Chain A
Amino acid sequence: MRLRSRVRLVTMTAAIALMSTACAGQGQGSGGTPAETGGAGGSAAPVTLKFWNGFTGPDRPAVEAIVSKFNASQTKVKIEMEIMPWDVFYDKLLPSLGSGTGPDITAMDTAQIPQYAARSVFQPLDDMYGPQAIDPGVLVASAVDATSFKGKKYGVPMNFTTLKLYWNKDMFREAGLDPEKPPATWAEFGDYAKKLTKDTDGDGKPEQYGLAIADHATVPMWPILFWQNGGGVVSADGRTATLADPATIEAARHWVDLVTKDKIAPIGLGGADADKLFQSKKAAMEIVGPWMTTGFKEAGIDFGLAMPAAGPKANVTLGTSVAFTLSARADAARKQAAQDFFAYWNNKESQVYWAVNSGFPPNRTDLTADDLKESPYSAVFGQDADKSRFYLAGVQEFQKVNETIFEPALQRVLNGQGDLEQVFGQAAKEIQAVLDSAQ
């Protein structure tokens, strides 16, 4: 046991230390990968690209299908894909790239790209864009823009979507609300949520909640409410912390009160918890993306989809995108191979397949309604792209700003640990320091 304890301690330190040894070797010696790969040239041996991503959800089969179609469609490039849970993906990525055993291409949320780009983990891909290769003119502009960091594009869109309000029509009916009419304003949104919250056994803990809203480990939900009132976590240009702005404080106070006093939503949910709550019919509304359509349908929920209720200042929702990236160590041959694959992914045929089989809207703007008629959801999620905003766009240290500062501050407030203005005020100062140090 004593040895075991020691071993555990050592694995932690060892993990960190081993990485360093591996990397030291890497820095000196391993520029030499071109020899084994680039040499392939015109001969038969295909360039093999390792591709990592975290599409473990219901959209996994669609990703796998397009990759195998690409592999079958030509002989020059072979994609070797490894799908792992996102948290494992992010834990492994930097150490594996450092030791030279990592993937050539990855797919990740565009908000995560800057922290890797700033550390020169990925290479800029601006020259991949062009009418003959990957035409930015036909792709969703905000998804392409979201790959930018300090004026260079480090990614090519893999998917794009807006978040929409899901509501459970049966629960609306039971609560005496019109099941075809989602809330259109904040007043209605809050009012409906209260009517849909029920504590049937009177123990103070509702059995049914009006809303499922996650405060950590989630696609951003609370920031949408801040934006709708003209506030936010950081300004649109990513340079100024706005968490302590009156508009943000006002929005936060309004919704925190509804959650803590009227108990319209449980406190402390992660993204998966919120989805589970809606899926098990214990919450009547949730703002989330198309990846949940399959799960909710399988649970037998009769749900509607709409733009989230407009706020006092803005009618806005979250836009979110996953983009392909290319390792900084990839040589010209690998870059060309990656470009072939990214272009294939974004061609018309693949995008129709993707939209129909994943529920995501297509990345392309030139597909007709007829192309997408088999997919009831993708059109809805593609709408209002012009009313969508990306969370922490262009912010270099996503992890620090979101998970180390913002989410814990929000959780403190929701748990009644400290006054809203004071907690958000302190968090805003910390966020500003992080933003400034990255300039």
Chain B
Amino acid sequence: MLPTLAVLAVFVVWPMLQALYLSFTDYQVFSPARWIGLENYGRLVSDPAFGNALVNTLYYAAVTTPVSVGLALGLALMLNRRMPLRGFVRTAVFVPVVISLAVVAIAWSFLLDPNIGLLSHWLSEIGIVSEQGWLRDPALAMPAVMAVGVWKNVGFYMVMYLAGLQSIPAVLYEAARVDGAGTWPRFRRITWPLLSNQTMLIVIMAAIATLQAFDQIFVMTRGGPFFRTETLVMMTYRVGFKEFQFGYAAAVSWALVALIFVLSMLQFGYFRKRAVTY
């Protein structure tokens, strides 16, 4: 336990505290950090770029979290039954989880390329033509990076749901069937409530992961076109590493920490009332 805590302290807690300190300074690497109090946080409030990144982040999370969780549940229910090629499909859905997201994003960039992309070509065959290419089109770039985010993570959530499904005692279903309950009532009255522990964990995890969306956006769009896909983490990167305002970048990242903390607590409070033991 102690080594783990030591690693956590050195690589997690200490850097976070350092970043918190920096967020109250005008640190720019080469000149010494100067304490400027809440100035960076005051700037956040009036910075349209922060507003834009916040809206993009919430939009990304609000769409990808329910879609990922819903899809994962659907796939888990499907793949929990006996069906042909079950092992293959389970593996196929899970494979993206173990591939690096950056690699996934490069592959998708090729698939979506307007000139050489296989997916663009197939879509144009059925009449869906994106003139500029998905990633360059301001209306389609966000849906594209969302789709990649969902595709990447859904397998992991599916496996968690599968584990949950297999821990539900079969006798409950047998009893329900004897009482004449159909498919929907069995799901509604047995499966869904008994999965609520998994659902809580998955929803909170998915929300945290999506609020930190970065990798595929960095690779696929770099936050563009004109900041349409710039999330808070992308903004932290741009402001820090591109514009050298490390103090302000630290403030942006701490705003994200606060956002994630508050949302996670709200979710936790909501789900805790619905926790089940059996």
Which residue among A19, A203, A276, A403 has the maximum number of chain B CB atoms within 10 Å of its CB? A19
Find out whether the CB atom of A120 lies under 8 angstroms from the CB atom of B30. Answer: yes
- Chain A 2-23 interface 0/1 with B at a Cβ cutoff of 8 Å (1 = within): 1001111110111111111101
Contacts of A23 in B (CB 8 A): 29
B277 within 8 Å of A (CB atoms) = no
Binds B, one of A36-44, A49-57, A293-301, A407-415: A407-415
Find out whether the CB atom of B129 lies under 8 angstroms from the CB atom of A16. Answer: no
CB closest chain-B residue, reference A409: B226
Binds B, one of A91-99, A129-137, A239-247, A368-376: A91-99
Find out whether the CB atom of A17 lies under 8 angstroms from the CB atom of B31. Answer: no
Find out whether the CB atom of A21 lies under 8 angstroms from the CB atom of B18. Answer: yes
Find out whether the CB atom of A121 lies under 8 angstroms from the CB atom of B30. Answer: yes
Q: Which of B21, B27, B132, B209 contacts A267 (CB 8 A)?
A: B132
- When A119-B244, A403-B242 are in contact, do A13 and B19 touch as well, CB less than 8 Å? yes
B222 within 8 Å of A (CB atoms) = yes
Q: Which of A17, A27, A94, A399 contacts B18 (CB 8 A)?
A: A17
CB closest chain-A residue, reference B157: A1
Find out whether the CB atom of B28 lies under 8 angstroms from the CB atom of A269. Answer: no
Give bound CA distance, A201 to B66, whole Å: 40
Find out whether the CB atom of A6 lies under 8 angstroms from the CB atom of B12. Answer: yes
A254 within 8 Å of B (CB atoms) = no
B6 within 8 Å of A (CB atoms) = no
Find out whether the CB atom of B208 lies under 8 angstroms from the CB atom of A2. Answer: yes
CB closest chain-A residue, reference B208: A5
A195 within 8 Å of B (CB atoms) = no
Give bound CA distance, A18 to B29, whole Å: 11
A417 within 8 Å of B (CB atoms) = yes
Q: Which of B16, B132, B201, B214 contacts A17 (CB 8 A)?
A: B16
Find out whether the CB atom of B243 lies under 8 angstroms from the CB atom of A14. Answer: no
Find out whether the CB atom of B260 lies under 8 angstroms from the CB atom of A9. Answer: yes
- When A23-B29, A119-B30, A411-B224 are in contact, do A18 and B15 touch as well, CB less than 8 Å? yes
Contacts of B205 in A (CB 8 A): 1-2, 5
A266 within 8 Å of B (CB atoms) = yes
Find out whether the CB atom of B244 lies under 8 angstroms from the CB atom of A412. Answer: no
B55 within 8 Å of A (CB atoms) = no
B33 within 8 Å of A (CB atoms) = yes
- When A2-B208, A17-B16, A203-B124 are in contact, do A268 and B30 touch as well, CB less than 8 Å? no
CB closest chain-B residue, reference A18: B15
Chain B residues within 8 Å of chain A by Cβ, number = 58
Q: Which of A16, A115, A203 contacts B249 (CB 8 A)?
A: A16
Q: How far is the CB of B154 from chain A (nearest CB, A)?
A: 12
**CB-CB contacts below 8 Å: B25-59 with A:** 27-33
B77 within 8 Å of A (CB atoms) = no
Q: Which of A8, A266, A282, A400 contacts B243 (CB 8 A)?
A: A400
- When A95-B29, A217-B222 are in contact, do A8 and B18 touch as well, CB less than 8 Å? no
- Chain A 192-210 interface 0/1 with B at a Cβ cutoff of 8 Å (1 = within): 0000000000011100000
A164 within 8 Å of B (CB atoms) = no
Find out whether the CB atom of A17 lies under 8 angstroms from the CB atom of B29. Answer: no
Find out whether the CB atom of B32 lies under 8 angstroms from the CB atom of A20. Answer: no
A185 within 8 Å of B (CB atoms) = no
Contacts of B240 in A (CB 8 A): 16
Find out whether the CB atom of B29 lies under 8 angstroms from the CB atom of A280. Answer: no
Q: Which of A14, A27, A217, A417 contacts B16 (CB 8 A)?
A: A14
Find out whether the CB atom of B243 lies under 8 angstroms from the CB atom of A268. Answer: no
Binds A, one of B80-88, B133-141, B172-180: B133-141
- When A5-B212, A120-B31, A203-B124 are in contact, do A277 and B115 touch as well, CB less than 8 Å? yes
Q: Which of B11, B116, B129 contacts A204 (CB 8 A)?
A: B129
Find out whether the CB atom of A415 lies under 8 angstroms from the CB atom of B253. Answer: no
B151 within 8 Å of A (CB atoms) = no
B217 within 8 Å of A (CB atoms) = no
Contacts of B136 in A (CB 8 A): 266-269
Q: Which of B29, B224, B236 contacts A19 (CB 8 A)?
A: B29
Q: How far is the CB of B208 from chain A (nearest CB, A)?
A: 5
A216 within 8 Å of B (CB atoms) = yes
Contacts of A15 in B (CB 8 A): 15
B268 within 8 Å of A (CB atoms) = no
A422 within 8 Å of B (CB atoms) = no
Find out whether the CB atom of A1 lies under 8 angstroms from the CB atom of B209. Answer: yes
- When A120-B31, A282-B115 are in contact, do A20 and B22 touch as well, CB less than 8 Å? yes
A404 within 8 Å of B (CB atoms) = yes
Q: How far is the CB of A115 from chain B (nearest CB, A)?
A: 7
Contacts of B192 in A (CB 8 A): none
Which residue among A205, A268, A400, A412 has the maximum number of chain B CB atoms within 10 Å of its CB? A268
Give bound CA distance, A23 to B32, whole Å: 9
**CB-CB contacts below 8 Å: A61-92 with B:** 90-91
**CB-CB contacts below 8 Å: A354-407 with B:** 397, 399-400, 403-404, 407
Which residue among A20, A280, A404 has the maximum number of chain B CB atoms within 10 Å of its CB? A20
Find out whether the CB atom of B132 lies under 8 angstroms from the CB atom of A268. Answer: yes
Q: Which of B18, B22, B133, B208 contacts A268 (CB 8 A)?
A: B133
- Chain B 218-254 interface 0/1 with A at a Cβ cutoff of 8 Å (1 = within): 0000101111000001001110111110100110011
Contacts of B67 in A (CB 8 A): none
Q: How far is the CB of A64 from chain B (nearest CB, A)?
A: 26
- Chain B 3-21 interface 0/1 with A at a Cβ cutoff of 8 Å (1 = within): 0000000011011111101
Q: Which of B115, B124, B227, B254 contacts A280 (CB 8 A)?
A: B115
Find out whether the CB atom of B224 lies under 8 angstroms from the CB atom of A10. Answer: no
- When A268-B132, A268-B136, A268-B225 are in contact, do A17 and B19 touch as well, CB less than 8 Å? yes
Task: Contacts A17-B16, A21-B18 known; list 9 others, CB within 8 Å.
Answer: A2-B204, A2-B208, A9-B212, A10-B16, A16-B15, A18-B15, A20-B18, A277-B115, A411-B224
Q: Which 6 A-B pairs have the closest CB atoms?
A: A268-B136, A17-B18, A14-B15, A408-B226, A17-B15, A13-B19
Ordered by A's residue number, 29 sampled pairs between the chains whose C-beta atoms are within 8 Å are A1-B156, A2-B208, A5-B212, A6-B208, A8-B209, A8-B212, A9-B208, A9-B212, A9-B253, A9-B260, A13-B19, A13-B250, A14-B11, A14-B16, A16-B249, A17-B14, A17-B15, A18-B15, A20-B18, A98-B30, A119-B28, A119-B29, A216-B224, A268-B225, A403-B242, A404-B243, A411-B138, A415-B225, A415-B226
